[in-house]
Structure 1
């Protein structure tokens, strides 16, 4: 009779959930096993140690929050403005397979204490910015304008989740729509 093992992806997803909820210190094998309803032994079937899990969590975050998003935007095609609108929609939806903006926040927090994570975050952020530069560059001829639009997009995407403000008669979604329209002019 074959022994059922908890899939590797379940450990990674549980690790990302723990990271998002409590920071890297919350990613502990015992706690993950408890959350998954299994013993610790299954962990070592997939990972040599906690550090190996942390690396795979970063790989999953990068793939889900960057590579998969770009692939999803590109798959449907369209001109640069259409793809940017799709990027805004996908980024705002938070419908990642494993991660969302709060996982991104957790990785950013972790990067403040771990130089290797900081380097990974820098690479991911640069990839995201390069993708937006490519798209904005298709209809903006001024490199300064491209850089401003990309930086505004990125900071609005991150900062929007940190604000708790009233927008008068407008909803936060309506304000985001206004921002997107302005950026795409």
Structure 2
């Protein structure tokens, strides 16, 4: 048996590690973490288990790779893209508010994230990564608000409000028409960018 099994007919070459991670992530998003099994993935990809074990020592290593890929794509790469654009803090905040509404890609990203959060409710490895991702995102959003001249305590409060809104839009994606969603987004933008500093209070 060859070290790397071939892809199914019509594909372009042997499966890579990224192919396995992408396939496993899709199954996770559409079903659950329990459905991410080596045998089932091998059948879906029309390869032998040998292809999997060429890239991964175990299912646990695959699960860790799923989490790493999600963290990189959904957090670190997004922040890096925002930073390279060098837009104003106000525009960065508006862009952050728009993330849940960026078409099919946003819906796929939300499906994956919700599945990972469900996984994290009963798995320590996933919980650790989700907590790290949340902390990184909140820290970045707070930096956007401090760039507007807000004190750190209030920047953190507004960051939590913005982030909670984004998570809620993912959880409640079926609620409201497109117009209502635009109105909610405009309302959040008004609250976050126009409410006088110090109104919320709070401490470090």
Query: Same fold by TM (over 0.5)?
Result: yes
Deviation for aligned residue 1:175: 1.9
Q: Say which is worse superposed, 67-76 or 123-132, in terms of deviation.
A: 67-76
Match in the other structure for 2:19: 10
For residues 100 and 168 of structure 2, the distance between their equivalents in structure 1, rounded to whole angstroms, comes to: 13
Within-5 A mapping of 1:22-37: 22-37=31-46
Q: CA deviation at 1:67?
A: 0.6
Shift of 1:53: 0.6
Q: What pairs with 1:153-172 in structure 2 (closer than 5 Å)?
A: 153-163=162-172, 164-166=174-176, 170-172=179-181
SS of match in other structure, 2:87: coil
Which stretch of structure 1 is more off in the superposition, 175-184 or 40-49?
175-184
Larger radius of gyration: 2
Kindly provide the CA deviation profile for residues 7-31 of structure 1, in whole angstroms up to 9, marking residues without a partner as x. 1111000111111112210110111
CA displacement at 1:148 relative to structure 2: 2.2
Q: How many residues align?
A: 182
- List gaps (5 residues or longer) in structure 1: none
Instruction: Show the counterpart of 2:158.
Output: 149
Distance in 2 of aligned mates of 1:52 and 1:10: 14
Contact kept, 8 Å, 2:100 with 2:170, in 1: the verdict is: no
TM superposition score normalised by structure 1 = 0.87
Question: After superposition, what is the alpha-carbon deviation per residue over 1:138-177, rounded to whole angstroms, capped at 9, x for unaligned?
Answer: 114233431221111111111112224447x942123213
Superposition map of 1:88-107 within 5 A: 88-93=97-102, 95=105, 100-107=109-116
Structure 1's 52 and 166: CA in aligned 2 closer, same or farther, altered over 3 A?
closer
Alignment of 1:62-141 (within 5 A): 62-93=71-102, 95=105, 100-141=109-150
Q: Distance in 2 between matches of 1:44 and 1:172?
A: 45
> What secondary structure does 2:156 align onto?
helix
| Structure 2 residue runs without a partner (length 5+) | 7-12, 195-204
**Offset of 1:113 from its aligned partner?**
0.8
Given that 1:69 and 1:90 are in contact with CA atoms closer than 8 Å, whether structure 2 keeps it comes out as no
Structure 1 CA distance for aligned equivalents of residues 150 and 170 of structure 2: 31
- Bigger mean CA deviation after superposition, 141-150 or 20-29: 141-150
Deviates more, 1:54-63 or 1:104-113: 104-113
Cα gap change, 1:19/1:166 in structure 2, threshold over 3 Å: closer, same or farther?
closer
Instruction: Please give the TM-score of this superposition, normalised by the length of structure 2.
Output: 0.80
Q: Distance in 2 between matches of 1:175 and 1:91?
A: 12
Alignment RMSD, CA only? Answer: 2.4
2:202 counterpart residue number: none
- Which deviates more, 153-162 or 45-54? 153-162
